[in-house]
Structure 1
Amino acid sequence: MPAATASLDRVARWLAALCIAGSSAGCILTKDLPDPALDIPQGYKAARLTDLDAPPTLDWWRGFRSSELTSLMQEAQKVNLDIAAAVARIIQADAQARIAGAALLPSISGTGQETYSRTSGSSASGLTNGGREVVNYASSLSASYQLDFWGQNRDALQAADETAIANRFDRDVVALTTLTSVANAYFQVLAAQDRIRTAEHNIASAARILDAIKQRFKAGTGTDLDVAQQESVLANQRASVPPLRQTLAQNINALATLVARPPESVHVIGGTMNQISSPRVTPGLPSELLTQRPDIRRQEAQLASATANVGSARAQFFPSIQLTGQGGYQSSALVSLFQPHAAFFSLVGSLTQPIFDGGRILGNFELTKAKQDELLQAYRKAVVSAFADVDNALVAIRQTSEKLRLQREVVAASQRAFNLSEQQLRAGTADIVTVLNTQVALFQAEDTLWQAQLARLLAIVSLYQALGGGWEPKMERPVDAL
């Protein structure tokens, strides 16, 4: 036993020395993310300097003041299948991180064994002695541990942790895409309902004008051509309704998919876009976008994971140090198995240095470096695209608002012209061509007005999406800290 104790002491001192050396070497291999060299502007080109500080709230959809939209948003957050799949990917990534972290801990296993053997009963002289039966019992524990001297396993764990973080931001990206899809589909439903009501009203107007023209034709003051032209206008108005009803049904079905229900069990009341409020929101500073956009944070985490993988691939060039140990009891009698004289142990330390592998380690290192560079460029593109998305959304809101204002003037003027032409038609002084032109112009102007109103609502939703959804409220400093 003294010899065994001395051996254990030598192994312990050797392990301690290796651990100290390994911990000192770890600081040499500390890696930071590569510099993306981003050009972050001071402000958005399309943002007004006079805008009030009104960042999007966490429940940004409530700003539209639609209880039905709010209900659909809340349901989508709970039951949407894309979000559920993203959550499942988070669980997978967490499990992969636990698998990667297992290499940093020793592996221990226990065995129990009973061996029964019988020797041959024949001898070299041809005599038989009946043979011999032997029973042997053994119980042991074995342990194995790889010293992470070069940080290979630590980097692999960090890469898996960053991938898990990236999957969490991916879930936020999916959730934001889902919510904006719900808002866009709901506003498409409202627009289709508004356009259908307007088309039905215009059908009634066109039919009223057709009756007046027929009366003129019967009185001999009109022609059959006048009747045919008005019938064409009426038919065109009727033909415009089926595509609108198709759009309405398709967007209701889209909402059903977003809330994970069959279309038959979804009932959307809708209403009119005139009942929807237009919330005011400001984009804040471009530098804030880097922490608010989940897709940017996802790309950043993926870049961090790739950087850790580079460190793990680099460590494969260096020797690997493996420690294994086994100890237990072995006896031919079960009653004396756990006696001191039946104990045994073995300790082995091994070092493996790659010498020639046909370029496998070098190829793997160059591959991980190339993936890191790819993700670096993807991260830079995500940031630049985010700035462009915000500017595009701001421009869209401004221009669609101006379009909506001007289109209202067009509708007002067209309505006045149509009313005057109808009055003259009934008085018998109107030119039929003028009547046809004014009613077609009014019908087109009214439909265009709804489309302009829809475009403005979609532009507001696009700004919320470009800003990364709702923002956490800023924490105000206490008075004592000022």
Structure 2
Amino acid sequence: MNKYIKAILNVVKPTLVVVALIMVSFESCVPSKTLREAHPDLPESFSHQSMDTLNTAKVQWREFFSDPYLITLIDNALVNNQELNIILQQIEVAQNEVKARKGEYLPFVNLKAGAEVEKVGEYTRNGAVEKNLNIREDEEFPEPLTNYSAGIFASWELDIWKKLRNSKKAAVLEYLASVEGKNFMVTNLIAEIADSYYELIALDNQLAIIEQNLEIQENALNMVRLQKQAARATELAVRRFEAEVFKNRSHKFEVQQEIVETENKLNFLIGRSPQPIERNSEGFIESTIGSLHTGVPSQLLQNRPDIRQAEYELAAAKLDIKVAKANFYPSIEINAGLGLQAFKPKFLTSTPESLLYSAIGDIVAPLINRNAIKAEYNTANAKQVMAVYEYEKSILQGYIEVANLISNMENLKKTYDLKADQVKALTESIDLSTRLFRSARIEYIEVLLTQREALESKMELVATKRDQLVARVDMYKALGGGWN
């Protein structure tokens, strides 16, 4: 058996020598372009922030949120959300692609067995030879001719240019990018559920404010009707108070519709059919806004999944250029086989007479009309430049998002404090305006305006509290929290 293996090696060795000579001649004909490197430019700290590296992005989402109803919603969404499950399947596809690319640069070994029968015409070259041919003395050549074979056959493309290995590494990086894409999806999903949940609680509180205000306005309407009967108010005042009541009743139904739509939005994110959302809407106005630690801008590179995804895709694009460049070089493939072959099954075990072996070395190199290869190479370079811009864009976008939210949270806090004072003043003015109207010291229109302004200020206060909670969640997402 050793002598047959040596025969195969004797065929392969000259092939490798020829490869080395071709390699030198092709090197000067291969185009080359300079890679564009990414330059992430980030300040040392966020505007008006300290250099403290303590970062809220490291906090797990179960610790970041304290509402048990919200935590339950997020838990269900992470299991049942259809879009997230689609991304998980994409990760599975990327993982299988890595396995496929890895298998391409390993030898392919196949087991083959076959049987065939052949009858050629007697008045042909092969037929005339077989007619007068004996296998042994007094043993004629069989007609028709049967053929039985069994053996092991291997093929292997020598990856001397690392085209296949770089292709596999690029597939690994694409797989890692898809994992980061999933993490980014988880971060966005958690933030969207939290934002919708706070929106739903804010609507509950606004509905309660409208109902409380309706009670005040209906009492004021009854008072005006009594004063009209006593000739102390006009029909115009009655109608104006009635119109205000009707207006707020219609607004109540608008808010109720918004509640239904927000509940169904949450149900869709959770991946279930419409049903009531369990929640606790009490104490919304009094809820405190927890503090956040932004860390330093450079931490965005490690914490934000979208930035890491862009980084992996950039690394994969660089390897794709190497793969495309390797197409200019010759491809070398070795095929070998070892088996048994005979025209009768009983002769298959007769060795060395029935032994079959082969060794083939092929070298294929592009010589003329390399336009397709050049186009593929240029495309890979263009995609690498695109990946650089995408990476730099994601970094800039992340920094700007955090910077905007820092300013937004500070301004919302100041806005909330002022609106709280406004609500307190207008709430006290409702009772005052009613008493003044009863004593005929002000007109009815001032009572209406006071009630309307008090309602609007309370609604705005609830909206501002909602915006504060949403901004806190958005900051958590912008810093790169939520996926861990």
Contact 2:45 2:51 in 1 (8 A): no
User: Does structure 1 residue 7 correspond to structure 2 residue 17?
Assistant: no
Shift in alpha-carbon separation, 1:447–1:2, aligned structure 2, 3 A: closer
Q: Deviations over 1:373-410 (max 9, x none)?
A: 01110110000000001111111111111111110011
* Structure 1: runs of 5+ lacking an equivalent: 23-30, 473-482
Contact 1:66 1:276 in 2 (8 A): no
CA distance in 2 between partners of 1:130 and 1:350 (Å): 35
CA distance in 1 between partners of 2:181 and 2:217 (Å): 52
By how many angstroms is 1:333 displaced? Answer: 2.2
User: Does structure 1 residue 115 correspond to structure 2 residue 121?
Assistant: no
The answer for the alignment partner of 1:27 in structure 2 is none
Contact 1:306 1:372 in 2 (8 A): yes
By how many angstroms is 1:223 displaced? Answer: 0.9
The answer for the alignment partner of 1:76 in structure 2 is 77
The answer for the alignment partner of 1:134 in structure 2 is 145
The answer for the alignment partner of 2:26 in structure 1 is none
The answer for the alignment partner of 2:320 in structure 1 is 309
CA distance in 2 between partners of 1:356 and 1:48 (Å): 62
The answer for the alignment partner of 1:425 in structure 2 is 437
Q: Which amino acid aligns with 1:210?
A: L
By how many angstroms is 1:107 displaced? Answer: 1.0
The answer for the alignment partner of 1:383 in structure 2 is 395
Contact 1:64 1:279 in 2 (8 A): no
Q: Deviations over 1:81-100 (max 9, x none)?
A: 22111110000001111111
The answer for the alignment partner of 1:157 in structure 2 is 168
* Structure 2: runs of 5+ lacking an equivalent: 23-32, 129-139
CA distance in 1 between partners of 2:342 and 2:51 (Å): 89
By how many angstroms is 1:17 displaced? Answer: 7.5
SS of match in other structure, 1:462: helix
Between stretches 49-58 and 394-403, larger displacement belongs to 49-58
Between stretches 224-233 and 289-298, larger displacement belongs to 224-233
Query: How does 1:312-331 map onto structure 2 within 5 Å?
Result: 312-331=323-342
Q: Which amino acid aligns with 1:352?
A: V
User: Does structure 1 residue 403 correspond to structure 2 residue 415?
Assistant: yes
CA distance in 1 between partners of 2:141 and 2:94 (Å): 62
The answer for the alignment partner of 1:479 in structure 2 is none
CA distance in 2 between partners of 1:174 and 1:372 (Å): 24
The answer for the alignment partner of 2:218 in structure 1 is 207
Contact 2:186 2:482 in 1 (8 A): no
Between stretches 253-262 and 189-198, larger displacement belongs to 253-262
Q: Say which of 182, 186, 197 aligns to 1:171.
A: 182
Query: How does 1:57-456 map onto structure 2 within 5 Å?
Result: 57-60=58-61, 62-118=63-119, 132-264=143-275, 266-272=276-282, 273-274=284-285, 276-341=287-352, 342-456=354-468
Contact 2:114 2:150 in 1 (8 A): yes
Contact 1:19 1:147 in 2 (8 A): no
Contact 2:74 2:190 in 1 (8 A): yes
Q: TM-score, normalised by structure 1?
A: 0.89
The answer for the alignment partner of 2:54 in structure 1 is 53
By how many angstroms is 1:336 displaced? Answer: 2.4
Q: Deviations over 1:57-116 (max 9, x none)?
A: 543354442111111112212222221111100000011111112221011112111122
Contact 2:8 2:358 in 1 (8 A): no
Q: Which amino acid aligns with 1:429?
A: R
Q: TM-score, normalised by structure 2?
A: 0.88
> Taking CA–CA contacts closer than 8 Å with sequence separation of 6 or more, which of the two structures ends up with the larger relative contact order?
2
Shift in alpha-carbon separation, 1:440–1:387, aligned structure 2, 3 A: same
Shift in alpha-carbon separation, 1:419–1:17, aligned structure 2, 3 A: farther
Between stretches 55-64 and 223-232, larger displacement belongs to 55-64
Contact 2:201 2:279 in 1 (8 A): no
Q: Which amino acid aligns with 1:441?
A: E
By how many angstroms is 1:16 displaced? Answer: 8.1
Q: Which amino acid aligns with 1:331?
A: A
CA distance in 2 between partners of 1:131 and 1:403 (Å): 102
The answer for the alignment partner of 1:39 in structure 2 is 41
Q: Which amino acid aligns with 1:77?
A: L
The answer for the alignment partner of 2:27 in structure 1 is none
Shift in alpha-carbon separation, 1:41–1:50, aligned structure 2, 3 A: closer
CA distance in 2 between partners of 1:300 and 1:52 (Å): 22
CA distance in 1 between partners of 2:318 and 2:149 (Å): 47
SS of match in other structure, 1:325: strand
Shift in alpha-carbon separation, 1:242–1:438, aligned structure 2, 3 A: same
Contact 1:107 1:145 in 2 (8 A): yes
CA distance in 2 between partners of 1:13 and 1:365 (Å): 31
CA distance in 2 between partners of 1:140 and 1:52 (Å): 65
Q: Which amino acid aligns with 1:282?
A: H
Identity over aligned pairs, percent: 22
Q: Deviations over 1:31-77 (max 9, x none)?
A: 998531121101011x5339893524543354442111111112212
SS of match in other structure, 1:340: coil
SS of match in other structure, 1:451: helix
Shift in alpha-carbon separation, 1:426–1:52, aligned structure 2, 3 A: farther
Q: Which amino acid aligns with 1:8?
A: I
Q: Which amino acid aligns with 1:41?
A: P
Shift in alpha-carbon separation, 1:255–1:270, aligned structure 2, 3 A: farther
Q: Deviations over 1:209-228 (max 9, x none)?
A: 11111111111111111111
How many positions carry a matched residue from both structures?
462
CA distance in 2 between partners of 1:39 and 1:306 (Å): 21
Shift in alpha-carbon separation, 1:277–1:369, aligned structure 2, 3 A: same
Shift in alpha-carbon separation, 1:149–1:75, aligned structure 2, 3 A: same
RMSD (Å), alpha carbons = 3.0
CA distance in 2 between partners of 1:361 and 1:52 (Å): 49
Contact 1:79 1:260 in 2 (8 A): yes
Contact 1:42 1:286 in 2 (8 A): yes
Contact 2:53 2:295 in 1 (8 A): no
